[in-house]
Amino acid sequence: QQPVQSPQAVILREGEDAVINCSSSKALYSVHWYRQKHGEAPVFLMILLKGGEQKGHEKISASFNEKKQQSSLYLTASQLSYSGTYFCGTEWTSGSRLTFGEGTQLTVNP
Amino acid sequence: GAGVSQSPSNKVTEKGKDVELRCDPISGHTALYWYRQSLGQGLEFLIYFQGNSAPDKSGLPSDRFSAERTGGSVSTLTIQRTQQEDSAVYLCASSLSWGGRSSYEQYFGPGTRLTVT
């Protein structure tokens, strides 16, 4: 079953913060986050494992709430380069396929 | 080092023809994935390989779609008797491994844009 992402789209001004959510109806083993710019391939951002710690680098971080079967991606002090479509991918058991959400389109304006 | 490569980058074919799409994963990556992305849509899982075997083929849309991987490296996705609804970008990804106590990031290729006329 496909995870549900929200919001579907968000528009920010440079320097503003954003949160993207990813929810599953099934228990999760891991959550992956990827960003895809227009006309390009998706690029890996981070993985969160069941029982693992919150991950992050620079101004992008993420959390994984196993009880709620939900992950959130936090973008702080957004930059123009953050624009793109963000996908979460969920893995139900170790080694199973990754099922992606429909994506969240993020636009950062000057 | 080299990333995931795919060929051709673009393919225009007539309805009813067969097409072959190729994926060359990152050297040493044992897991390989195929996805389909229609315009403005998400990533639709098709199939994945662990080595040369495909434990999950459930994403293949119909029996017109097949894929193989040889030598634990290159993979080919074949679509027989193409239909207009097959038009999409076909993305391949590879990862270092699979399963165990971890999960592995996927590295995507640039994709093959397939147009069926």
pLDDT of residue A107: 97
pLDDT of residue A24: 93
pLDDT of residue A27: 87
Residues 6 or more apart whose CB falls under 8 angstroms from that of A26 comprise A1, A69, A90, A92
Within an 8 Å CB–CB cutoff, is residue A79 touching chain B? Answer: no
Per-residue pLDDT reduced to its tens digit, A36-55: 999 899 999 989 987 766 66
Of B41, B45, B111, the CB nearest to A98: B45
Within an 8 Å CB–CB cutoff, is residue A47 touching chain B? Answer: yes
Residue of A nearest to B98 (CA): A95
C-beta atoms surrounding B39 within 10 Å: 8
Q: Which amino acid does the sequence have at A101? A: G
Per-residue pLDDT reduced to its tens digit, B80-107: 999 999 999 999 999 987 766 667 889 9
Between CA B45 and CA B36 the distance in angstroms is 7
Residues 6 or more apart whose CB falls under 8 angstroms from that of B33 comprise A97, A98, B45, B46, B47, B48, B49, B92, B93, B94, B95, B106
Q: Do residues A20 and B83 touch, judged by C-beta distance below 8 A? A: no
Per-residue pLDDT reduced to its tens digit, B9-24: 999 999 999 999 999 9
Residue of A nearest to B46 (CA): A97
Q: Which of the residues in chain A have pLDDT under 70?
A: 52-57
Q: What is the least distance, in Å, from the CA of B82 to any CA of chain A?
A: 24
Residues 6 or more apart whose CB falls under 8 angstroms from that of A63 comprise A48, A54, A71, A72, A74
Q: What is the least distance, in Å, from the CA of B8 to any CA of chain A?
A: 15
Chain A residues in contact with B111 by the CB 8 A cut-off are 41
CA distances from A61 to A26, A32, A56, A75, A94 (A): 23, 12, 4, 7, 23
Instruction: Note the helical H segments in A21-75.
Output: none
Within an 8 Å CB–CB cutoff, is residue A40 touching chain B? Answer: yes
Per-residue pLDDT reduced to its tens digit, B22-67: 999 999 999 999 999 998 888 999 999 999 999 888 899 999 999 9
